[in-house]
Copies of this chain bind each other. A is one copy, B any other.
Amino acid sequence: MPASNLNPAANAAQTITVELPQNPYNISIANGNLATIGTAMQNPQLKLGRKVLVVSNPTIFKHYGQIVVAAIEAAGFSVNSCILPAGERYKTPASIQKIHDAALEMRLERSSTMVALGGGVIGDMTGFAAATWLRGINVIQVPTSLLAMVDSSIGGKTGVNHPKGKNLIGAFHQPKLVVIDPTVLKTLPAREFRAGMAEVIKYGVNWDKALFEHMEAAKRLDQLRYVSEALLNTIITHSCQAKAVVVAKDEKESGLREILNYGHTIGHAVESLTGYRVVNHGEGVGIGMVAAGEIAVEMGWWSREECDRQNILIEKCHLPTRLPAIIDISAVVPKLQTDKKVKAGKVRFVLPKQIGTVAVTDQVTPEIIQPVLQQLASA
């Protein structure tokens, strides 16, 4: 459970440690953190070599490339950059080859570092390129979206998509450091902000009741400008703390870490069945949490009242709570069978027992799922 003293004054710098036995690392959270990243990289404990490759996309690099490159160069590193087109459809083995070509061009050594400056796509690809160059070089995650800050930049899951499935190709490769500068969220599109909020609500339900209640107390959560600096700080630090604790206990997802998939079983199916064009990942997770909550109520695991509180919070973020109209509902259950987390042919669900506590089960039958999906069908 998160420490109760984790609700600091707004804007105070925070460091959260992911306490992995082999390779512990810090998540540094502070306004203005991008401008001091070079100093952070000089920490001798990190043992970073001189060469640094910054990987980003054109939009992010236009906003933040100069400040990051200048900060790293000022700290005495030699920096090149590799700019990849933005978007999930470029999260492919071909993009990894481009990063590797840049690595070869720069003659990156085993002690060299890749810096992922961007959202989840850039983070996943850069992490995977670093995992597979010279059998693993350093990577520093500098997430610029809320979703990447609270989720994908922490925990070492890296990878790209196979033409027939998301994230099927990848590796576990922990970063050396995660550098979060909440001020960059001001350039994040509102829809992306809301997508990140879905993962934050996830931590409220599967881990951190206090975080859930902080968000319940807010008036509006659908755009960054309605969120106070103190609440934003709570959102980021509590989420990172939750992720850090879970990952430290189960790096390779052989047990506890599975709870981080709350909302993701139906969520992934919805993303996939809409061709990754209609619903983004956070929106999928939002719909998935509503579905998982209703299944938990149906199975007697969760109270109707708490499930409603969850759904109201999801609605407050202006996240969808119903299945997109274009989805063929009968295709959802078969799609679940192709989930990466299927074990011995059985689909696994993370279901709430109370706000802050979930459990994993493979006992959810199509007979339970189907009526819930009908109920969530768009009117």
Interface residues of chain A, those whose CB is within 8 Å of chain B, are 49-50, 93, 97, 100, 104, 107, 109-111, 128, 131-136, 157-159, 162, 164-165, 168-172, 252, 338, 340-344
Contact = CB atoms under 8 A, between A and B. Distances in A.
A342 B110 CA distance: 9
**Closest A-B pairs by Cβ, 7 of them:** A135-B170, A132-B169, A135-B172, A104-B164, A135-B171, A132-B171, A134-B340
25 contacts: A49-B344, A50-B344, A93-B93, A93-B97, A100-B168, A100-B169, A104-B162, A104-B164, A107-B338, A109-B342, A110-B343, A128-B132, A131-B171, A132-B132, A132-B159, A132-B170, A132-B171, A133-B168, A134-B170, A134-B340, A135-B157, A135-B158, A135-B171, A135-B172, A171-B171
B109 A168 contact: no
Contacts of A134: 168, 170, 340
Contact of A136 (B100, B172, B343, B344): B172
A356 B186 CA distance: 63
Nearest to A341: B110
Nearest to A97: B93
How many copies the complex holds: the figure is 2
A111 B254 CA distance: 11
Contacts of A158: 135
A171 B131 CA distance: 7
A343 B109 contact: yes
Nearest to A111: B343
Contacts of A344: 49-50, 109, 111
Nearest to A173: B171
A100 B168 CA distance: 9
A260 to B, nearest CB: 14
A259 B104 CA distance: 25
A2 to B, nearest CB: 26
B340 A133 contact: no
A243 to B, nearest CB: 17
A59 B162 CA distance: 29
Given A110-B340, A340-B110, A165 B104 contact: yes
A152 to B, nearest CB: 13
Contacts of A162: 100, 104
Given A104-B164, A162-B100, A136 B171 contact: yes
A169 B134 CA distance: 6
Contacts of A171: 131-132, 135-136, 171
Nearest to A96: B93
Given A107-B338, A136-B172, 5 more contacts: A111-B344, A132-B170, A133-B168, A135-B157, A136-B252
A280 to B, nearest CB: 22
B159 A135 contact: yes
A193 to B, nearest CB: 28
Contacts of A340: 110, 134
A162 B107 CA distance: 13
A368 to B, nearest CB: 23
Contacts of A159: 132, 135
A155 B214 CA distance: 49
Nearest to A339: B109
A158 to B, nearest CB: 8
Contacts of A136: 171-172, 252
A11 B344 CA distance: 39
A287 B344 CA distance: 51
A132 B172 CA distance: 9
A168 B170 CA distance: 17
